[in-house]
Amino acid sequence: MDWLNEPCASATEHYREFALQRQQQLTKPSGALGRLETLAVTLAALQGREDPRADRVHISIFAADHGVAEEGVSAFPQAVTGQMVHNFLNGGAAISVLARELGATLEIIDVGVKDPLNHAGLISQRAGAGTANSAQAPAMTHSQLNLALQAGYAAAERAYANKAHLFIGGEMGIGNTTAATALYCALLDVAPSVATGAGTGLDAAGIAHKVNVIQRILDVHRHHLNAPLEALRCVGGFEIAALVGAYWRAAQRGIPIVVDGFISTAAALVAVQQQPNVRQWLLLSHASAEPGHVLATDFLGLQPLLDLQMRLGEGSGAALAVPLLRMACALHNRMATFAEAAVAGEAAARL
């Protein structure tokens, strides 16, 4: 696990300045394309190139079960985790459709589904048969945490080998909004009542029960929540840990990361608190409908690209942001400059 101590790659300020200068020369009023301009400049700096790209997209979906599901914190039974993994692999899930539309590489990694799955297209890097019930004991051992982090590392390495322009991490795991919310509460020092939402569709009584369970989790592990990785080990999940590992390694390899919603942002929160330089590699795709999400995005200083009231997970919101990033790059790379369009003098000044 020596790779955990490697520094993150650095953005290239030369290309940031070049991109800023180009934006000033394009046939439009300065700043008229708003955040599309900022996105293109950011990608140019992160990718270290004059022509930022978002064509090659690598999507890794990590699946795992949670012992805390025993507490009745989800509207769906735990068996749905494995069933949805088959749906991903058979092309029927939202992320499967979106990946095809984007021409993206999509891989599904089992990091701890309760019952092992048999499918030719599945990558198996299991840390266990689901986590322990975090309302009673630490969710994972130190060894299991390392295995899950390593699964994320391997995914980012595959993205690097494929020369990906963007990395997207997604997740599947019944009960994982409870684990993520516990992480939010532990790392941001907020009450469960503030950060807890409906998850997969709980009613008011279900949400109230979930709040109580999360408070129990925090009480059980209160002496181990000050360090990000210990909080992750005690209250998180294998798929969240894999996302942390993937974000770390992608940042070390210099791959911009498009962060999905509530669960993925919990992983980003752990990664940044442990290694602050990961932050510059994160692009937040959308604002989750889960109430605690804005707490983490404010802490991280990330502004969502979209707000569609989504709460699906599985990398779907991040995939939906890719066309926007592609358009930002196309505008930056292909618009004419004032000189190329022969727009000059007073006309250019008025623009």
CB of 315 closer than 8 Å to CB of 168: yes
Q: At what angle do helices 228-235 and 262-274 cross, to 10 degrees?
A: 140
Alpha helices in 90-221 (DSSP H): 94-102, 142-161, 176-188, 192-195, 204-220
**By C-alpha distance, which of 38, 40, 314 is closest to 174?**
314
- Residue 250 identity: A
* Token pair of 123 as six digits: 């990558």
Handedness of CA 177, 314, 259, 237 (dihedral sign): positive
| Annotated catalytic residue 314 | yes
Q: At what angle do helices 238-253 and 142-161 cross, to 10 degrees?
A: 40
* Token pair of 157 as six digits: 């390495």
Distance CA 174, CA 16 (A): 41
E-only strand ranges, 251-349:
257-259, 282-284, 286-288, 306-310
| HSE-CB of 242 using CA atoms within 13 angstroms | 32
DSSP character at residue 8: P
| HSE-CB of 105 using CA atoms within 13 angstroms | 21
Distance CA 312, CA 328 (A): 25
Catalytic residue (one of 6, 107, 314, 340): 314
What residues are labeled active site?
A: 314
